[in-house]
Amino acid sequence: MRSYSVKTHQRDEMLDVTDHVREAVRDAGVRDGQALAYVPHTTAGITINENADPDVVHDMLAQLDKMVPWSQPFYRHGEGNSASHVKASMMGSSVTVLVRDGELVLGTWQGIWFCEFDGPRTRKLHVAVHNTN
């Protein structure tokens, strides 16, 4: 397993971590298998989505803010970051990507995105690579 530090700079932010996952696959020497990327945080998540047009990230963050506003009168969590917990659960804490011939099997426009919802912070990303042969 490889672990990476991910430094975020804004409260809500998405960072492309595809290269970290590729590095973990390369370092593991796995030709055919799976790469699991895991985020061990309750206010951050991970997802796979388009990485070619930065407007997609903008639109996703804007829509998440619309669906889950930062402040709501019914929020009870004492730290004041209930929206962050909800958004992290919506994204999920892990993604699995197939590996074929030593490469991630991603679509033409796909990338792996670390999703920060309570930043800025220094976070962790863990990547485990498994051989299926």
Mean of the per-residue pLDDT values of the chain: 96
pLDDT at 96 over 80: yes
Radius of gyration of the chain (CA): 16
Domain containing residue 15: CATH number: 2.60.120.460
What average pLDDT does this structure show over 89-99?
98
User: Residue 79 — very low, low, confident or very high, per pLDDT cuts 50/70/90?
Assistant: confident
Residue 58 dihedral angles phi and psi, to the nearest 5° = -55, -50
CA 22 to chain centre: 14
Tens-digit pLDDT profile for residues 16-75: 999 999 999 999 999 999 999 999 999 999 999 999 999 999 999 999 999 999 988 898
- Pairing between β-strand 13-16 and β-strand 103-104 as defined by DSSP bridges: unpaired
Tens-digit pLDDT profile for residues 25-34: 999 999 999 9
pLDDT at 58: 97
| Among 11-15, 80-84, 97-101, the least confident range | 80-84
pLDDT at 117: 98
Dist. CA 87–CA 109, nearest whole Å = 23
Residue bearing the bigger pLDDT, 31 or 133? 31
pLDDT at 128 over 80: yes
Task: Look at the chain and report how many structural domains it folds into.
Answer: 1
Q: Which helix (H) or strand (E) holds 23?
A: helix 18-28
User: Residue 133 — very low, low, confident or very high, per pLDDT cuts 50/70/90?
Assistant: confident
Instruction: Give the domain extent around 44.
Output: 2-131
